[in-house]
Chains A and B, each alone.
Chain A
């Protein structure tokens, strides 16, 4: 007995020493406020620790902590391809102390029949990030610009060209479908090769296995920097200030198609109006802080802000657009 408990205690002390040494030199709240919030908040992340959404949530939580004067604890609730965490946000107690980061998947999952949840189950608090997909080809590809690629796609027999970057019915697959339809082509004119995320897709692009990867530019960035791939256009209303050399689809091709992934903060329905106002104002200050823009720049993530109603509108628009694209691609649950 004594042996075992000693081991446990030793382990714990060593661990605590490690935590102490690594430290949390974050400013403690200066003033305790009499009104909301007067205890720690919880921020639910529906995706795993270490990924892009997790990192975004953690930087927002750290800055929100400074704004609100209360700790904001990040909790990863993974499982069910994002469904579990998104439900946890929607079903939380609507007292303003549990919020979460909502991702674009909420506009897609219900069309596939995976969950009843839609954007209408949340109180939107603020949009924090938006990334548009680019059209990436390998550096050795014969298509030098988006016009040449569009011509190449139109002149190739259906199914000859292949694209990849996410699973069947994933966001980048829908971006491709939307673009093809905007050009007046069939949704499966370019065949989709399901992959386990954008990174394997980019690798296969460079290895010569596929022709196009329509993933977001931050995901393609390392290969672009390495000179192994080229981004021909971006599916956004205007150029990305971080990548000013990449033209939009509209200016280069005259095709007005745009889509994006986004991340925003939301809470369950029926939150008190006062709490909503305080949180939205704090999020706006977080968004405008230098720390936030420095972080987003370092990751290459696109900045975009909208307040609660604005974020709600973005979610509703995406939801409708995804529904159209998914029906066209035959991905909706009959």
Chain B
């Protein structure tokens, strides 16, 4: 999701504008002069200002290169896999899946499915991914339910203990 400064800057200007509009909609407070609109107003104006500066690429020279450790000469830098950019959005989708499924499927099954999805996408072999999908949910279940007493839903699969 590498976007040009012009695009991110314009997004910030737009967001700032929406914020200022939202701030103007805030109700006043009876008996008070300083209401809930002042602070968002300042933020909105600030965002618009920063967004314009970013779009004009002011301050760009301060940006450090991404790599903390530059590759050694002769070292082979692995190419990112294909469709890599879009694979990045798998984790948030899996979290949404967790939110929707955990009540009905239960924690253990949902967690196993997420674990499998992530490790297979990362190119793990079944020898690694399958035991992990069993052990990781069980371990987390043990810590949270037994030790921390967090009520994780049982769903379809109830543990005997």
A18 to B31, CA, bound (A): 54
For the A-B complex, the count of residue pairs with Cβ-Cβ distances under 8 Å equals 47
Q: Pick the contact of B143: A11, A159, A191 (CB < 8 A).
A: A11
Interface residues of B in 116-161 (CB under 8 A from A): 128, 131-132, 135-136, 139-140, 142-143, 146-147, 149, 151
- Residues of chain B within 8 A of A9, CB atoms compared: 139
B135 touches A329 (CB 8 A): no
B136 touches A75 (CB 8 A): no
Least CB distance from A196 to B in Å reads 15
- Residues of chain A within 8 A of B128, CB atoms compared: 1
Q: Does A309 reach chain B (CB closer than 8 Å)?
A: no
A16 touches B31 (CB 8 A): no
Q: Does B29 reach chain A (CB closer than 8 Å)?
A: yes
- Residues of chain A within 8 A of B136, CB atoms compared: 5, 8
B132 touches A1 (CB 8 A): yes
Q: Pick the contact of A73: B135, B142, B151 (CB < 8 A).
A: B151
B139 touches A188 (CB 8 A): no
- Residues of chain A within 8 A of B32, CB atoms compared: 168, 191-192
- Residues of chain A within 8 A of B30, CB atoms compared: 188, 329-331
Least CB distance from B34 to A in Å reads 10
Least CB distance from B137 to A in Å reads 10
- Prevailing SS type, chain B contact patch: helix
Chain B residue with minimal CB distance to A1?
B128
A8 touches B151 (CB 8 A): no
- Residues of chain A within 8 A of B29, CB atoms compared: 168
Q: Pick the contact of B31: A8, A19, A188 (CB < 8 A).
A: A188
Q: Does A208 reach chain B (CB closer than 8 Å)?
A: no
Least CB distance from A211 to B in Å reads 16
Interface residues of A in 14-38 (CB under 8 A from B): 15-16, 18-19
B143 touches A15 (CB 8 A): yes
Q: Pick the contact of B142: A12, A42, A191, A329 (CB < 8 A).
A: A12
Chain A residue with minimal CB distance to B150?
A75
Q: Does A264 reach chain B (CB closer than 8 Å)?
A: no
Least CB distance from B78 to A in Å reads 21
B31 touches A191 (CB 8 A): yes
Least CB distance from A180 to B in Å reads 11
A5 touches B131 (CB 8 A): yes
- Residues of chain B within 8 A of A188, CB atoms compared: 30-31
- Residues of chain B within 8 A of A16, CB atoms compared: 142, 146-147
B147 touches A5 (CB 8 A): no
- Residues of chain A within 8 A of B147, CB atoms compared: 12, 15-16, 18-19
Least CB distance from A71 to B in Å reads 11
Chain A residue with minimal CB distance to B151?
A75
Chain B residue with minimal CB distance to A188?
B31
- Residues of chain A within 8 A of B146, CB atoms compared: 16, 19
Least CB distance from A164 to B in Å reads 13
- Beyond A16-B146, A19-B146, A192-B31, is A5–B151 a contact (Cβ under 8 Å)? no
Q: Does A69 reach chain B (CB closer than 8 Å)?
A: no
Least CB distance from B65 to A in Å reads 32
Q: Which of A12, A16, A329, A331 has the most CB of B within 10 A?
A: A12
Residues of B bordering A, CB below 8 Å: 29-32, 128, 131-132, 135-136, 139-140, 142-143, 146-147, 149, 151
Q: List 26 A-B contacts (CB under 8 A).
A: A5-B132, A5-B135, A8-B135, A8-B139, A8-B140, A9-B139, A12-B139, A12-B142, A12-B143, A15-B143, A15-B147, A16-B142, A16-B146, A16-B147, A19-B146, A19-B147, A42-B151, A187-B31, A188-B30, A188-B31, A191-B31, A191-B32, A192-B32, A329-B31, A330-B31, A331-B30
* Shortest Cβ-Cβ A-B pairs, 10 listed: A188-B31, A330-B30, A8-B139, A15-B147, A12-B142, A1-B128, A19-B147, A5-B135, A12-B143, A12-B139
- Known contacts A4-B132, A5-B135; 19 further A-B pairs (Cβ under 8 A): A5-B131, A5-B136, A8-B135, A8-B136, A8-B139, A11-B139, A11-B143, A12-B139, A12-B142, A12-B147, A15-B147, A16-B147, A19-B146, A73-B149, A73-B151, A191-B31, A191-B32, A329-B31, A330-B31
